[in-house]
Chain A
Amino acid sequence: MTVTRDPALKSALKKSQQRARRRAFLLVLPLLAFVFISFVVPIAMMLHRSAHNSAFAENMPQLTAWFAANPEVRQPDETAYAALVADLQLAATARTAGVVGTRVNYEVSGSRSLFTSAGRKVGELEPPFAESLPALNRSWASPQLWSAMRNVSQSYTANFYLAALDLARDTDGNIISAPADRQVYVSLFVRTLVLSFTITCICLLLGFPVAHLLATLPLRKSNLLMILVLLPFWTSLLVRTTAWIAILQEQGVFNSMLVGLGILSDSGRLSLAYNQTGTIIAMTHILLPFMILPLYSVMRTINPSYVRAARSLGASSWVAFRRIYLPQTLPGIGAGSLLVFILAVGYYITPALVGGASGQLISNLIAFHMQNSLNWSLAAALAALLLAVIALLYWLYDRLVGIDKMKLA
C-alpha cells in the first residue's frame, strides 16, 4: 500500500468514507429507532419501576413531608399523627386507602386491612390523634409500622430488590434476611439455574450423537434426517407442550402404554406431568434443536482426515475421538450449550403449563406478581435480576461465539 501524501486527496477520501458510513447508518436508523422505542424504552421503564414506587408518597403527602422534615425522629409526635389522619381522610375521599395499604403491606403484612378500615372511621376522630388513632387499632402505634411507613414514603427504593433477594429491613433500617416464610426467591433462582443446567446437559448428551450422525452421513441422507430435527423446531410451542401433556399425564399415552404392556399396575401410574420431571422432559424436547443445529454446523466443517490420521498412527477409536475429534467440536458445544442455557433460564410457557408447583421457574413468579398479586414493582425487580443474568450470558455468547455467527437452520 502506498502512503498518500496529497492532502486534498486524503481529505476527499476521508469525506467519501464518511459519506459511506453515514449512508450505511441511515439504512439502519429506522429500525434502530423502532427497536429503541418498542423494546429499549419499555425495558427501561420496567427497570425504573423496579426501583420506584410512589403509591405512598402520592397519596399520603403530609406524612411524607413530615418524614422528610424529621429524618432523625424515631418516635412519632402529635404533628405526625395529625398528618397521618389528614392523609387518611384524603385517601378515604380519593378511595386510595387500599392502594396505600397495599404498598405498606409489602413491608408489614396485615397493613392493607388496617388502612382500609381506618379510612372508613377516620372522619370521626378527635384530637389528640396520637391517642385517638391507636385507640382505633393498637397497630397504629407500633414502631414497626412507623418504620415501614417512613421506609415506603421514599419513592426511590431498593426495597424491591431486597425483597427479590429474600432480604428485608428491620426497624433501624439495617438489612437482615427476610422471615423464613417469605424466603422463596433465592431458592427459585437457584432452582431455575439448576434446572436450566440439567436441561442443557441432557440436550448436549442427546444432541451430540445426532449432530455427529447428521454431519458424517452423505448430504442426501442427512438432509432427509434433518427434517426430523427441523419439524419440531418449526412446530408451535403450544402444540409441542400440548403433545407432552397428552403423553405424560397420568391417564396419558405413555402411562397407558406401560400399563397396557403390563410393566406398570393401574394404580402405580407414574406422575410425569405437572411437576419438575414434566418441565425437564418437555423443555429438553423443545430446546434440543437449538443444541443440534450449532453442533451440526461446526461438525460439518471438521475434516475427517485428522481422525483417520490419528487412527493410522495407532490411536484407538476412543483416543482418536477424545484427543482429535472432541476438541474440534468445542466451538459448537459452547455455542449450543450457551444458547440452550440462555433460552432455558427465561422460559415461561412450558413450565407454566406442564410444571405444576415444583416445576415453576423464575419467569412464572414474575408473571404471578404481574397478574395475580399485582406487586408490579417486585415483579420488575425480579425481572431486572433475571435480565442481569441473561445480559451476562449474552455478553459471554458474543465473546465466545459472536452474535453475527448466529444462524437459523
Chain B
Amino acid sequence: MAISPSSNAAERIWHYAYLAICALVFIFLIAPILLVVPLSFNAEPYFTITERMLTFDPAGYSLRWYDTLLTQGMQRPDAARDWAWWLDAWRHSAWILAAKNSLIIGFFSTALATVLGTVAALGMSRPEMPYRRAIMAMLISPMIVPIIITATGLFFFYSKVGLANSYLGIILAHATLGIPFVIITVTATLSGFDHSLTRAGASLGASPTTVFRRITVPLILPGIIAGALFAFVTSFDEVVVVLFVAAHDQQTIPRQMWNGIREQISPAILAMATILVFFSISLLTAIELLRRRSERLRGVSRG
C-alpha cells in the first residue's frame, strides 16, 4: 500500500494512519519489556518511574534490588564482602540456588530433547517414513496440549512410579516439552537439505557414519543448535510442571519469580526480569547469527 502519484488525499491519510497504527503496535510489543529495565534500578520500592528518575537525579537510581537478589536467603548478608561473603552467597543465596537448579535441569533436558529429537527428525524427513502425519501430530502435541493438562497427568504418573519430587522427573518432563521445538527446527533444516551431497559422499567411498558425521551434521548443525536453544528456553521458563511435580525445596528461577509475584511483589523481581531480558536478547542474537549461517551454508543468499 505504498503511496503512488495517483493516490488521492483519502488514500494518503489512510497510509499515514496505517503507519501510525503499526508504530503503536510495535510500541505495545516492545515497551513493556524495555520498561522493566529502568524500573529495576528504582531507589524506591515502587513500580513506577519516580520524579527523581525522570529528572535523571542519581539519587533516584540504585542497585539495591540487584543486591537483594544476592543477599536473599544468605546466612550473614550484612557481613563484610570478602571471599567468605561470596562463598555464603554461592551456597545459600536463594536466587543463586534457583539459577543453579534451572541451569542443571535446562542442560540435561535440552541434551535429551536434542539427541532424541534430531535422530527422530532424520527419520521423519525420509520420504519412506510410514504414518508420518499421525506420528508428527503425536510428537508435536506436547507443544499444543495446555501445560496444565500435561502437569496434571505427570502428577498422577510420577506419584505412581515414584518420580515425584525428583530432578529426574523434572528433566524428563522438560525434555518432553522441548522435543517439539527440536523436531520442528531440525525437520525445517532438513527440508532444504540437498541429498545429492550424501550420495556424492557415499559414491566417493565414505561409510554411512562418515557421511553422517562429515556431511549431514555440519549442514544441519544450525537447525540443531536453534532447536536446542528453543528447548533450553522452554525448560528455563517453565513453571507449571515444576509447581506440580517438584519438591518444595527444588526452586528454579521461574518458580522463584512465580512465588515472588504471588506473595510479596518487590522490584527485586524486576531486577531478575531485567537480567532475563538481556539473556533473551543474547539468545535472539545467537538465533539470528545461526539463521544467517544456515542460509549461507545452503546457498540461499549470498548477500
Give residues in A with beta carbon < 8 Å to B.
Answer: 17, 20-21, 23-28, 30-32, 34-35, 38-46, 49, 206-207, 209-210, 212-213, 216, 225, 227-232, 234-247, 249, 251-253, 256, 285, 288-289, 317, 321, 342, 345-349, 353, 363, 366-367, 370-371, 376, 379-380, 383, 386-387, 390, 394, 398, 403-404, 406-409
With A26-B123, A231-B284, A408-B230: A256-B49 Cβ-Cβ less than 8 Å: yes
Looking at the assembled complex, report how far the CB atom of A367 sits from the nearest CB atom of chain B, in whole angstroms: 6
Please give 6 more A-B residue pairs, beta carbons under 8 A apart, in addition to A238-B258, A239-B273, A242-B36. Answer: A236-B280, A285-B32, A346-B146, A371-B243, A386-B146, A408-B181
Known A42-B153, A232-B30, A383-B152; contact A238-B237, beta-carbon cutoff 8 A = yes
| One of B26, B148, B226 near A367 (C-beta < 8 A) | B148
Q: How far is the CA of A398 from the CA of B134 in the complex (A)?
A: 10
Q: Which residues of A contact B158 (CB under 8 A)?
A: 42
- B120 interface contact, C-beta 8 A: yes
**B46's closest neighbor in chain A, by CB?**
A251
Name A376's closest neighbour in chain B (CB-CB). Answer: B156
Contact among A227, A241, A386 for B284, CB-based, below 8 A:
A227
B262 touches A353 (CB 8 A): yes
| Chain A residues whose C-beta falls within 8 Å of the C-beta of B49 in the assembled complex | 253, 256
- State whether the Cβ of B94 lies closer than 8 Å to any Cβ in chain A: no
Chain B residues closer than 8 Å to A236, beta-carbon distance? 236-237, 254, 273, 276, 280
B84 surroundings in chain A (CB, below 8 A): none
B179 interfacial by beta-carbon distance below 8 Å: yes
Are A285's CB and B148's CB within 8 A?
Answer: no
The interface-forming segment of B71-79, B125-133, B193-201 is B125-133
Residues of A near B140 (CB, < 8 A) are: 403, 406
Q: Flag if A346 contacts B148 (CB, 8 Å).
A: yes
> Which chain B positions have C-beta within 8 A of A367?
148, 240
Classify the interface of chain B: helix, strand, loop or mixed: helix
Q: Which residues of B contact A232 (CB under 8 A)?
A: 29-30, 33
**Contact assessment for B187 and A238 in the assembled complex, using a CB-CB cutoff below 8 Å:** no
Contact A398 B160 (CB under 8 A): no
Interface size on B, residues (CB 8 A): 94
Chain B positions within 8 Å of A, measured between CB atoms, are 1-2, 7, 11, 14, 18-19, 21-22, 25-26, 28-30, 32-33, 35-36, 39, 46-49, 116-117, 119-120, 122-124, 126, 128-130, 132-133, 135-142, 144-150, 152-158, 160, 172-173, 175-176, 179, 181, 184-185, 187-188, 226, 230, 233, 236-237, 239-240, 243-244, 254, 257-258, 261-262, 265, 269-270, 273, 276-277, 280-281, 283-284, 287
Question: Which 8 residue pairs spanning A and B have beta carbons closest together?
Answer: A346-B146, A27-B123, A42-B153, A31-B120, A42-B157, A243-B32, A28-B123, A46-B153
Query: How far is it, in angstroms, between the C-alpha of A376 and the C-alpha of B181 when the chains are bound?
Result: 31
A407, B188: Cβ atoms closer than 8 Å: yes
Report whether A387 and B145 are in contact in the complex, using a CB–CB cutoff of 8 Å.
yes
- Let me know if B281 and A363 touch, CB within 8 A: no
Interface centre among B11, B25, B187, B233 (most CB of A within 10 A): B25
Residue of chain B at shortest CB distance from A288: B29
Chain A residue numbers with a CB within 8 Å of B160 are 45
Instruction: List, in ascending order, chain B residues with CB within 8 A of A289's CB.
Output: 29
Chain B residue numbers with a CB within 8 Å of A394 are 137, 141, 144
| Complexed CA–CA distance, A43 and B137 (Å) | 15
Contact A370-B244, Cβ < 8 Å, known A25-B129, A41-B157: yes
Q: Assess whether B172 is in contact with A38, with CB atoms less than 8 Å apart.
A: yes
Q: Which of A26, A209, A243, A371 contacts B33 (CB 8 A)?
A: A243
Residues on B with C-beta less than 8 A from A34 are 116, 175-176, 179
User: Bound complex: CA of A249 vs CA of B137, how far in Å?
Assistant: 40
SS class, residues of chain A in contact with chain B = helix
CB atoms of A246 and B147 under 8 A apart: no
Measured CB to CB, the nearest residue on chain A to B279 is A236
Task: Point out the residues of chain B lying under 8 angstroms from A20, CB to CB.
Answer: 126, 128
Residue numbers in B under 8 Å from A235 (CB-CB): 33, 276-277, 280
Give CA–CA (A216, B19) in the complex, Å.
Answer: 12
- Residues of chain A contacted by B130 (CB below 8 angstroms): 21, 24-25
Name the residue of chain B whose CB is nearest to the CB of A20: B128
A285 to B33, CA, bound (A): 11
Known: A32-B120, A45-B157, A239-B277. A38 touches B32 (CB 8 A): no
CB-defined A-B contacts under 8 Å, sample of 20: A21-B129, A30-B119, A31-B179, A32-B120, A39-B176, A42-B153, A206-B28, A207-B25, A213-B18, A216-B2, A232-B29, A236-B237, A243-B33, A245-B265, A246-B35, A252-B47, A317-B11, A367-B148, A370-B244, A404-B136
Q: Are B261 and A245 in contact (CB under 8 A)?
A: yes
Residues of B within 8 A of A241 (CB): 261
CA distance A44 to B175 in the complex (A): 19
B154: chain A residues at CB < 8 Å are 38, 42
A206 to B119, CA, bound (A): 39
Cβ contacts under 8 Å, A26 to chain B: 123
Contact partners of A44 in chain B: CB under 8 A: 153
Q: Which residue of B lies closest to A47 (CB)?
A: B153
CA–CA, A326 and B116, complex, Å: 41
Please state if A35 and B146 are interface contacts (CB–CB under 8 Å).
no
Instruction: Specify which chain A residues have a CB less than 8 angstroms from the CB of B284 in the assembled complex.
Output: 227, 230-231, 234
